[in-house]
Structure 1
Amino acid sequence: MRVKGKITQWDDDKGFGFIQPMLKATSKVERVFLHAKALQNRSRRPQVGEVVTYSMAKDQQGRSQAKGVTFAGEKQLVKSARATGSWPLKVVLLFFLLLAGACWFGKLHYYVLAGYAGLSLLTFIAYASDKQKAKNGRWRTPEATLQLMALIGGWPGALLGQSWLRHKSKKMAFLRVLWCCVLLNSALLIGVLWQPAILQLLVG
């Protein structure tokens, strides 16, 4: 059942707030927890006083929380079971296959492959940690830190983190910056392949 309510509190830095249900019953109704991941339109930030429609759910502690939240005038979206598909995994696998091939034919040193693998693992762990912090209402990892990790070579881990963990996968401003980091890093890698002296300059 869909319920209508009004946002009475919102902390944009932490990504959560509370909704006061707008029920006709005279008895007092407790407010409902709202997390940013429950918003269907994550490109729009909630404002105190806005009216929303949502479905009721329970967290692991049995507390009430909103899900499938839509702003007034928006239609509820039906999410596909394969929302993001498997393309991020395919992209990452293809990238590492090409990277391994370049190492095999002597175009790159194997420590470049190891570096990408290590940075990707660290970036994936950072995404997982940030998602857990968001669930627990703890201090979040700065987005600039996640983007920097992607820029220096951890972007495969970022793609897998978004796909598998469903984290940072709907915020368009974040995604635009991430893909700029992917393109910049890829351009540098291509430059190294064509001009090995670039790599020697970077590593000293």
Structure 2
Amino acid sequence: MKLQGKLLNWDDNRGFGFVEPKGGGQRAFVHIKAFSFYSRRPQSGDMIQYQTSQDRKGKLRAIEVNLVNDHPTGNKPPPKKTPKPPSRPSKRRVPLLLPFFALLGGLIWFQRIPIEVLYVYGVASLIAFVMYAIDKSAARAYRWRTPESHLHLIALVGGWPGAYLAQQWLRHKSAKRDFKAMFWFTVVINLTALGYLLTPSGQALLTGIMGLR
């Protein structure tokens, strides 16, 4: 028997939200792929009909969902339009990281910055790549996602090269404009901080932290 309830906390960018049964009861997780059909994008406050099932962790989720008083008019409309990412990583984009690491290597060679800075970028980039991979896996399995603020934070502290590679190779977060804008903002802030380390005050800060001189 189908239940009826109100759609709550709908995140259209991620395509999921929750439904609260009419008359009260346990909320269920709702994903856009659970809709049998829809003539428009769902939004918070919509009344929907659905059935429930449990995932592997025992959490309640909605299935066979449709908007109340909505009727199929043909094929299911496509999801929210976003620029289609390339099927393969762009060969022109990935090498953009090469000049950065060449510059970083040169600064280390001429002892303008300690080699530990390279270690920070390497470790943070590896962590960022793994975080993107986990988030993409969670999106496919309808599990809880990694907050975007965490992805931006790891990029800010030096993980942006790994995050950039993940966006290209995993094709994850590569088409969301708001996310990309914030990502490049963190890159600019990080490079500005790196540039500061080359100034006299920045060198003094490094000397105090690392005990280089």
Report the TM range for the smaller structure's normalisation: 0.5 to 0.7
SS of the residue corresponding to residue 36 of structure 2 reads strand
Aligned-partner Cα distance in 1 for 2:157–2:135: 19
Q: Match for residue 154 of structure 1?
A: 159
Q: Match for residue 204 of structure 2?
A: 197
Report how many aligned residue pairs link the two structures: 160
Q: Match for residue 185 of structure 1?
A: 190
Within the alignment, does 1:96 sit opposite 2:112 as a pair? no
SS of the residue corresponding to residue 151 of structure 2 reads helix
Aligned-partner Cα distance in 2 for 1:78–1:52: 26
Deviations 1:161-200 (A, max 9, x none): 1000011111111111111100000011011123312434
- For structure 1, the 5+ residue unaligned runs are 1-7, 23-30, 32-47, 56-65
The 5 Å alignment of 1:109-124 reads 109-124=114-129
Structure 2 residue corresponding to 1:172, chosen from 159, 171, 177: 177
Q: CA 1:79 to 1:157, structure 2 compared with 1: closer, same or farther past 3 Å?
A: closer
Please say which structure displays the higher CA radius of gyration.
2
Aligned-partner Cα distance in 2 for 1:54–1:94: 51
TM-score (norm 1): 0.64
Aligned-partner Cα distance in 1 for 2:108–2:125: 18
Q: Match for residue 45 of structure 1?
A: none
The 5 Å alignment of 1:38-57 reads none
Please report how far the alpha carbon of residue 203 of structure 1 lies from its aligned counterpart in structure 2 after TM superposition: 6.3
Aligned-residue CA RMSD in angstroms? Answer: 3.7
Deviations 1:57-107 (A, max 9, x none): xxxxxxxxx8x9256xx7x9776545x623442122221111111101111
Question: One-letter code of the match for 2:154?
Answer: M
Aligned-partner Cα distance in 2 for 1:93–1:69: 38
Q: Match for residue 147 of structure 2?
A: 142
Q: Match for residue 78 of structure 2?
A: 69
Structure 2 residue corresponding to 1:128, chosen from 133, 154, 160: 133
- For structure 2, the 5+ residue unaligned runs are 1-5, 17-30, 39-50, 52-66
Question: One-letter code of the match for 1:93?
Answer: L
Task: State the percentage of identical aligned residues.
Answer: 35
Please report how far the alpha carbon of residue 9 of structure 1 lies from its aligned counterpart in structure 2 after TM superposition: 7.1
Aligned-partner Cα distance in 1 for 2:73–2:159: 38
Deviations 1:117-169 (A, max 9, x none): 11001100100011011111111111100100000110001100100001111
TM-score (norm 2): 0.62
Structure 2 residue corresponding to 1:86, chosen from 77, 84, 91: 91
